[in-house]
Amino acid sequence: MAHGQVNQFINSPWFAWGAGTGLPAPYTQADMNITLEARIFGVWVPYTFTGNLQEVVVNKTAGTAGFSIPISSITTLFSLSQPIVWSAAVSGQQVTWTANQTFSQPGGFNIVGSFDNNGTPVSYNLNVNNIATVGSLRSVFANTTPAMIPLIGRVANVRGTHSGGDTLNYIDMDTGTATGTLGGLPVTDLKVHFRTIQHISHPPMPFRVTGTVALGDVVSSGAFLATLEVLPAAGGPPEWTWTGPFTAGVTFDLAVFGFDPIPISSPANRKLRIRSGSHLSQTVPITLWENPVVVNFALVNGDVNLSEEVDAADIDAVILHFGGTGAGLSIYPDVDHSGEVDAGDIDVVIANFGSVGNTGS
């Protein structure tokens, strides 16, 4: 999978937004232009923000391109407003968002602070309400080289770039009511314009691990429980563990299970281990990096007592529970998943006698 594709952004549960530091060149704070217009004595007076516009991490719902913009990350005004932008179109590597909301609350929003107007601090003490937010964003998710982004602490795709000019990449916030002072002067209306918005996101690089599991010597192809573990390449305690249902032959995806490993800035060797019921553990080496890892497990059956070896003790366990269902036990005498502990289970254990598990530890 190439870097920067739209589906990586859509499937990501978070990303970075803003125009601040931490971006690879050539992106700078100057890429986003913020202009405030205040009606003072009946005249619209413009102010230009040049402050330290920092990026922030934004959470979103995986599976959708929509997200909320924390306006507080790019201006000290309207810090309570979180405009929701939703995807109007997804085409190839391009996404277009739109925003159209009004923020209001009883008594309005009290805004107190100061901003940098081309090097000159300007104080404000305002009460605003019915803040209408409209805008449009377009981003082309370029197939660019990944970079280590300090803000999110991991290698990530350099996200979409400014596309479509200011007619598309803008947000306007207009107050329905405004009172108070700006620079000590009385204000009766207020507008904020965001233009040339560059930094929509850099979705984290998804360390995708997918594959299938084949269970040996079973008569049922239904769902079964298994445990997956990501281990250090040199062995040791698992770094990540997930237990849940699998279906033989159906592709699984660790990202769906919440797999999000320790940040890495270069290819990282790991091991992936699986264990299910009476099937021996299997461990395979994997390398986490820019492309999905595909693992196809084939598990050997017959380890009734979970010793990681198919031996005489397993035959004894099957005989001990012969004629029962094997349900509710801490061991797995019904090795072939037939629903009954019978001669078929003894046959499986004998056929795989002497096999040992590969635990990878």
What would the mean pLDDT of 356-360 be, rounded to a whole number?
96
Position 155 pLDDT exceeds 70:
no
Fold that domain 209-351 belongs to in CATH: Immunoglobulin-like (2.60.40)
pLDDT at position 75 is 81
CB atoms within 10 A of CB 106: 5
Position 348 pLDDT exceeds 50:
yes
Tokens representing 251 are: 């592709």
Tokens representing 64 are: 């959708």
Q: Please report, as a single letter, which amino acid is at residue 142.
A: A
Euclidean distance between CA atoms 187 and 42, whole angstroms: 9
SS (H, E, C) 158-208: CCCEECCCCCCCEEEEEEEEEEEEECCEECCEEEEEEECCCCCCCCECCCC
Euclidean distance between CA atoms 358 and 349, whole angstroms: 17
Euclidean distance between CA atoms 203 and 113, whole angstroms: 32
Which of residues 68 and 28 earns the better pLDDT score? 68
Whether the pTM exceeds 0.85: the reply is: no
What would the mean pLDDT of 64-69 be, rounded to a whole number?
87
Sign of the Cα torsion 175, 181, 187, 192 reads negative
Which of residues 258 and 87 earns the better pLDDT score? 87
Q: Write out the H or E segment, with its range, that includes residue 99.
A: strand 94-103
pLDDT at position 345 is 97
Strands (E), 201-358: 209-215, 223-232, 240-247, 252-253, 268-276, 279-288, 293-299
Residue ranges of domains in the chain? 6-195, 209-351
